[in-house]
Amino acid sequence: MKTSIPAWLGSMLLAIFIGSVASADDHMLNGIDVQQPFNVQANLCKLNPGVTLDDYHALVEDYFDWAENNSVDPVFVRQFPLFSHQNLRNPWPYDFVELLGSDYERWGKSWDLWLTSEDGMALNKRWQSLAMCHVKQAHGQMLYTDTEAMESDDERYVAWNWCTPKVGFEQLSQKHAEYVAQISEDPNGMIGWGVMFPHTGGADLPGDFAHLAIYPDVESFMKRRSMEAKGGWRGLREYYQNYADCTGEQLNIETVLHRP
């Protein structure tokens, strides 16, 4: 795909993930070892004038066929803002965001084929005729997963929270491990929790890394807000005061469109 993507992915040391805790019965999630960092591509897209989402999605379906035929198909999700930080003075410039997850080797092969093969270049040209998509690459790792729920739920909600660390990666990793232990005892509606930070093209971002919390529905999201309102805010206050400055959560609607 072409080179340019989201205004919400951050940058931090890869070492923040080394030795982190992943709570999953199976370390593989949709064919990806989620105990190890994996690559995430973000496409921040705005449809060109006169193009509908149906027009664009027809291309995406053809892309899935091409990627499957070349054994480079990723986990592919699309997100739309639900409760965002945007307002009239600060509008969201994109129609939607796509996130493509894969291991690094597979994704490097995918891009080489996309940029050099005849059918890949044809799809790329068609893609650019339909939308302006800013593309960026990031590291991702799941720190907590309910594997069964994550692999079966195609319509879900993802809360983004961009942060800038106040401490070194050892302290931050330790705090994240403590948080994972708490989530494992009582997820409070959450089916996944991970961290993401950019490695290419992420200079203009609202933080150095992002927490992603995944919920099956808004009721589950509000269940966790209830927990925070009834005392859980003390843990958030400690994190914000001592470990990182964060923007606060934005909730997006997510649809899983493809799994390898």
CATH code, domain carrying 163:
3.30.70.100
47 pLDDT band, cuts 50/70/90, is: very high
Domain membership flag for residue 1: no
- Which residue has tokens 């923040």? 16
What is the number of structural domains in the chain?
1
pLDDT tens for each residue of 62-121 = 999 999 999 999 999 999 999 998 888 888 899 999 999 999 999 999 999 999 999 999
pLDDT tens for each residue of 119-164 = 999 999 999 999 999 999 999 988 898 888 988 999 999 999 999 9
**Which two tokens mark 177?**
């491990």
Is residue 204 within 8 A of residue 7, CB to CB? The reply is yes
Q: Can you tell me whether residue 64 is helix, strand or coil?
A: helix
pTM here is 0.85
Its domain, for residue 241, covers 14-258
Residue 69: the pLDDT is 97
Domain membership flag for residue 150: yes
Residue 182: the pLDDT is 87
173 pLDDT band, cuts 50/70/90, is: confident
Domain membership flag for residue 4: no
Domain membership flag for residue 3: no
Alpha carbons 187 and 183: distance in angstroms, whole number: 4
